[in-house]
Amino acid sequence: MTRTRRPLRSNFEPGSTRWAVRRAQWIAMGISEEDFAKPKIAIVNTSSRLSVCYQHLDRLAARVEAAIRTAGGLPFEIRTAASSDFVTSAGRQGRYLMPTRDLMSFDVEVQIEGAELDGMVLLSSCDKTTPAHLMAAARLDVPSIVVTCGYQLGGSCGGKSVDIETLYNSVGSYKAGEIDLAQLTEMSRVAITGPGVCAGLATANSMHVLAEALGMTLPGNAPVRAGSERLDGICDAAGRRIVEMVEEELRPRDILTPAAFRNAIRVAVGLGASVNVVRHLAATAREAGLDLNIVAEVEAAAAQVPLIARIRPNGGTRIEDFDEAGGCLAALKVLEGVLEPDAMTVSGRTMGELLREVGAPRSPHLATLEAPFSPDPGLAIIRGSLAPDGAVVKVAAIPRRIRRFSGRARVFENEADAIERLAPGHAERVRKGDVVVLRMMGPKGGPGTVFAASFMAALQGTELASEVAVVTDGELSGLNSGITIGQVMPEAAEGGPLAYVENGDEIAIDLDRRSVDLLVDLDEMARRSAVPVRLPEAPRGWLAIYRATVGPLSRGAVVGDAAQMDPARD
């Protein structure tokens, strides 16, 4: 792309107050005066010593910094908040996780817009980091590249492969008495053997892949092993490319178009990505100022795109197998016939131009559109009287033999209570055929979406795992499998039907018909819904602010109104 070069916004008027005081600051920092006129690029580093997801980012930031300097830019590393779904989830049942996504996006905004920098390279790692970075890029609309920073590897225990998914599911086996604490402890010692995000197509790897499908990473970025030479090379290339993008005036909103989102959604459906990607894509589209119904787009894609991969937890393919098969680029090539080729990417080339250079994948881990692993989509939206605005289900993780399920509701508004009812011998134990309803766990109800994955982990490994359905407005892990209906919309706290389910009500799920219904007559529902919903008390601080300002799940649960936050473009 060629454009008329405009003055850099970071080059302040000589003699102005902000020009003078910034010069004084930078000279005192040892920055040479000849660097002052160069493009000023932020390296957004979410490095944290709390989680293995981030422990390698400082080294990657240094590579990006060196590449920016070589390309003629002036780099500035900035630090932001960061969260880890398996560490930050400890407090308040994971209620801080979803709100941290928006907090990170505002953190980036404050530092980039406050300093009026010219571009940014965003080092993305754990689940909430990639969507936060995409949201910030879409909102600020300064030249941006996302670098997804790779997946971790697992180890072995007792002669068997073990990774974080194995450990996660083994918690249920321990609760059920099938393994002892010593075995679980030993597995925890070897489940992670290097830096990076959780193995498998959970939310982190799903969002890494979709960032590339959107065109916001350099081609070939996802998935990639953390600590690999290939990831080092991607960082070097990103540092060079961002300087070119500033010169070209190639901005995120040139890339984050409706065509880009439709391409990413088709990849998500074809791979069976995490159910959580729907809210993150919706949030990013909203920040990009698009009037695009992501839920409806997922529905449309599910009617068109079959399952082309079986990446764990959807099957036996490991994330490193998918990487070796060609990763996102290979999946895009398989789906080329249903993609929109004119979508622009950060490379400066369109998706169609990139894919013309990619050969047809030849791997047992990728199928074709003509001969898919399953004619069903990997990800789908289901609707009905219990979810009039839709709910998200990972069809790929549910065996065909249990596509229909009907049972009595067991309602919980506290995840710990639900986990307690899984214990063998409990007088009020969850039983075969029940539909467990976990509610008041959505963004507004929590407040901050409750990480309902702890219940799912406890359920896995028990004899009830394939005999119980779960319906929730809380947040699920991308590692979840089984009859799990997530992101029920509207959430209970918004007065959705989920708020009025009572113990013993019958709930019917039919994945073939894409339906989830509460079998209660209309007069009874009218009587119940006449009673206002009572929200749980919100603690003081960030969670209270989040509840007061967060939007609905169907639009991405974005804090504030994106239309009012858009910086003016001239």
Distance CA 140, CA 114 (A): 11
Distance CA 164, CA 181 (A): 16
Closest CA to 208 of 257, 266, 163, 151: 151
DSSP letter at 305 equals -
Distance CA 143, CA 239 (A): 12
Query: Taken in order 390, 211, 88, 229, is the CA torsion positive or negative?
Result: positive
Given phi > 0 = left and psi -120 to 50 = alpha, else beta, which region is 373? alpha
Q: Which two tokens stand for residue 145?
A: 């590249």
Active-site position among 206, 477, 481, 554 = 477
Contact call for residues 123 and 43 (beta carbons, < 8 A): yes
In 191-225, which residue ranges form alpha helices assigned H by DSSP?
203-213
Contact call for residues 232 and 58 (beta carbons, < 8 A): no
Length of the chain: 570
Helix (H, G, I), strand (E, B) or coil at 193: coil
For residue 45, report the phi and psi dihedrals to the nearest 5 degrees.
-115, 115
Closest CA to 38 of 297, 247, 255: 247
- Residue whose token pair is 């002052």: 36
Closest CA to 395 of 384, 381, 407: 381
Distance CA 26, CA 35 (A): 10
83 among known catalytic residues? no
366, 372, 375, 381: CA torsion to nearest 10: 30
Distance CA 194, CA 8 (A): 40
Distance CA 469, CA 438 (A): 11
Greatest Cα-to-Cα distance within the chain, rounded to the nearest angstrom: 78
Q: Within 13 Å and on the Cβ side, how many CA atoms surround 459?
A: 29
Distance CA 435, CA 467 (A): 9
**Residues with a known catalytic role:** 477
